[in-house]
Amino acid sequence: MIFNSFDFAIFLPIVFGLYWCLGSRRVRAQNILLVAASYFFYGTWDWRFLFLIFVSSLADFVIGNFLQKSYNDSYRKRLLWLSLGLNLGLLGFFKYFNFFIDSFAYTFSFLGVTFDETRLNILLPVGISFYTFQTLSYTIDIYRRKINACNDPVAFFAYVSFFPQLVAGPIERAKNLLPQFFDQRVFNYSKAAGGVRQIIWGLFKKIVIADNCSLIVNSIFLNYQYEDSLTLCLGAFLFLFQVYCDFSGYSDIAIGLGRLFGFHLMKNFDFPFFSRDLPEFWKKWHISLTSWFVDYIYIPLGGSRNGLNAKVRNVFIIFLVSGLWHGANWTFVFWGAVCGLALVPYLLLGRNGRYETYVAKGRYLPNFKELLQMLGVITFMSFSMIFFRSPDISVAWSYLLGILKFDFSISVLDNYHFVLLIMGLLLWEWMFRSRAHGLDISHLTTKVRWSLYSVFIWLILFNFGSNQNYIYFQF
């Protein structure tokens, strides 16, 4: 079941109605309903996936309580390693088993050694990378004594399986989301209306922009050998925005759904294409994952405390891990390496983190320098995404070499409407870059607001029906 489907359009009103009919004083009953609804939602992909999320939730609930009660450092460390081993073991088996077996066999083939590769027909559980990181952060934070263990299994299972953000984030921390399952949740019309606006904005980005871009992107990448340089550039450019609208659209819908049920989920994207350099871009792109890597990998490795060389090394490591997190393919690892290397000059020159406020604050338009900076970021990310999209590295290199042929054809003009679509998105987001999301227009007059709502809803309904999965479901 996906958000942009008729099934979900039936599922949501039923759960919403039952949830609020229980009454705000029956918090535990609401949590039980959310667990049941979330497991049903997740089980519609494959009921066998439920066993994995149940085991992961139960293990970390039990381990968390033992960690809380114990003051024996050695014992607590063993418990932490048990949690890490179980969760990463499940993730590694289901997501990376065949990848590592194939890579191992391929490496030894250069030495003349051949292996009888054992491949399993493993079905990747939807969203396993997301909820695994969410449960890991819980046990790690208890181990660090940053949070207390949860004593209510219903609340904890609801925290892990909360259906709005279960399969593609945001990756919530226990310190933010888990306490909300103990709070009395009272229906608030203003918050719910704001949630609906954000859902509409997310559906617009997903259905109207991402799904339409995917049509031309798939065609270009499938036939890249026969396309001219300009068309290949267009494919890379459109894929970057397809990924953005697909994933940030999901995040917007998840956050909006959370508000409908009285929850606050963290912001996951903050208009990243208006970044003036790459460090600023990564602070605004997939914020929940970036902050997770900083807290649980970068800082434990030493962060920036041990000198510049260690800082560069640690940044590069988290980008390699980030690439591998995105998929069991060397293309993702290479993509992560490219993005990590691109940050090295900023680190060496001490120019990372120099932008603290959004671009052109207090001005309608960017200056020429800011415009070039933003175009530079978009251009780099478009080219890096060629590796993200390609089935293997050889295809990615061939695609890049095709761009370097510098042969042009006017046939690319046939796709001008896709470029106009992206330009329209950028213009709209520019106007609302200081607000929570692109449809945060409560400051406008009632007539203007409802006119805009009608336009966006009509565009969504006009393009509705393809029911394409979200790109990040495969991660």
Catalytic residue numbers read: 326
Q: What is the DSSP string of 101-165?
A: HHHHHHHHHTTT---------PPPPTTHHHHHHHHHHHHHHHHTTSSPPP--HHHHHHHHH-GGG
Cα–Cα distance measured from residue 16 to residue 314, given in angstroms and rounded to the nearest whole number: 44
CB 67 within 8 A of CB 76: yes
Which CA distances in Å does 65 have to 73, 140, 454?
15, 12, 50
Name residues whose C-beta falls within 8 Å of residue 166's C-beta, 6 or more positions apart in sequence: 38, 41, 42, 127, 130, 131
Which residue type does 174 have? A
Cα–Cα distance measured from residue 434 to residue 182, given in angstroms and rounded to the nearest whole number: 32
Which residue type does 235 have? G
Cα–Cα distance measured from residue 137 to residue 383, given in angstroms and rounded to the nearest whole number: 33
DSSP E strands, 250-378: none
Q: Which DSSP letter does residue 468 get? A: P
For residue 264, give both structure tokens: 């606050």
